[in-house]
Amino acid sequence: KRRGRDLVHIYSESDQDSENLRDTIEWIHQLQQAIANDQIVLHFQPVIEIRTREIAYYEALVRLNIDNKLIYPGSFIPALERADDIKLLDHQVVAKAIKYLADYPEIPRMAINLSAHAFSDEKLTPLIEQKMMQYRVDPKRIIFELTESASLTNLAGTLRMIERLTQLGCDFSIDDFGTGFSTFTYLKQLPAHSVKIDGSFVKDMPDDPIDLALVRAIHEIARSLNKVSVAEFVENQETLNLLEEIGVDFAQGYHIAKPAPIHTFLSAEVKALVD
């Protein structure tokens, strides 16, 4: 329509490419603005240990706060991941998250999401180490979540980074497990301590026997590899009960708590989140 009336335009792949490119360029600009104006904020979502119902850690989730309106990562991360500039965001998130750990000793541990590009980023590991030193944060309080897209293509680089940070005491978790192209290769190659079962399998567990079977199977695989299992998208009590029955170790989701600013969780009243 933009091109005018009475004009047939054949849609081709390169149109998609140029649209993606435009989108990426706009978000890079937006990100740079947000960094300059200090508009990058972290919200936190608790993860409970199912056995005790206690908060084991908080996952840091990034948002852009532009004119008091929050923009969620679903709208900008895919665009930024098409470019190297996602590294800028990773740097911001890592620095902020580690500062939170220093400012709030009552946070037991924190999970930080890393983008697919993080593993080809030579500067990231030194930055993480520098921030942990600067703020005197125990590396044992940090879990890094990687998605399967986080490149088996650069396996050597990925392994080097994981090895170094594991040596220091950080843990690694495979995020959104079960949705990638090479799930099992990933599981085999990466020394992760935990597997986060993708929410798409967890969400409908009570009504969908296939999902229930898949969650059970993923948990068994994790356990036989000496990894702990985490379920995301726990949206009701029935799901939590089923996960407990299966033996899944940790749970996260709207039924337990929605992501929110950290002070929401650190006030004394919020102790028991679920039955």
- Given candidates 121, 148, 171, 175, which one binds ligand C2E under the rule CB under 6 A? 175
Kindly state whether residue 187 participates in binding ligand C2E, applying the rule CB under 6 A.
Answer: no
- Please report how close the Cβ of residue 8 comes to ligand C2E at its closest, in angstroms: 38
Query: With contacts defined by CB under 6 A, how many residues of the chain interact with ligand C2E?
Result: 25
Stretch touching Mg ion by CB under 5 A, among 18-26, 72-80, 144-152, 266-274:
144-152
Partner in contact with 165, chosen from Mg ion, ligand C2E, none, beta carbon below 5 to 8 Å by kind: none
| Residue 145 found at the interface with Mg ion (CB under 5 A) | yes
For the bound state, the minimum distance from the C-beta of residue 114 to ligand C2E, rounded and expressed in Å, comes to 6
Residue list 52-111, contact with ligand C2E (CB under 6 A): 60-62, 72-74, 77, 90, 93
Provide DSSP, 141-202.
GEEEEE-TTS-STTHHHHHHHHHHHHHHT-EEEEEEETSSSSHHHHHHH---SEEEE-HHHH
CA 173 from chain centre, in angstroms, equals 9
State which of residues 113, 183, 194, 239 lies at the interface with Mg ion (CB under 5 A). 113
Q: What CA–CA distance (Å, rounded) separates 126 from 262?
A: 26
Kindly tell me which of 157 and 199 has the beta carbon lying closer to Mg ion.
Answer: 199
Hunting for tokens 């800028």 — which residue is that? Answer: 88
Task: Please report whether residue 254 would count as binding ligand C2E according to CB under 6 A.
Answer: yes
* 260: phi then psi, degrees, rounded to nearest 5: -160, 170
Q: Which stretch, 125-133, 139-147, 241-249, 261-269, contacts Mg ion (CB under 5 A)?
A: 139-147
Binder among 157, 159, 235, 264 for ligand C2E (CB under 6 A)? 235
| Interface residue list for Mg ion (CB under 5 A) | 113, 145, 175-176, 199, 232
| Interface residue list for ligand C2E (CB under 6 A) | 45, 60-62, 72-74, 77, 90, 93, 113-115, 145, 147, 175-176, 199, 232-235, 253-254, 259
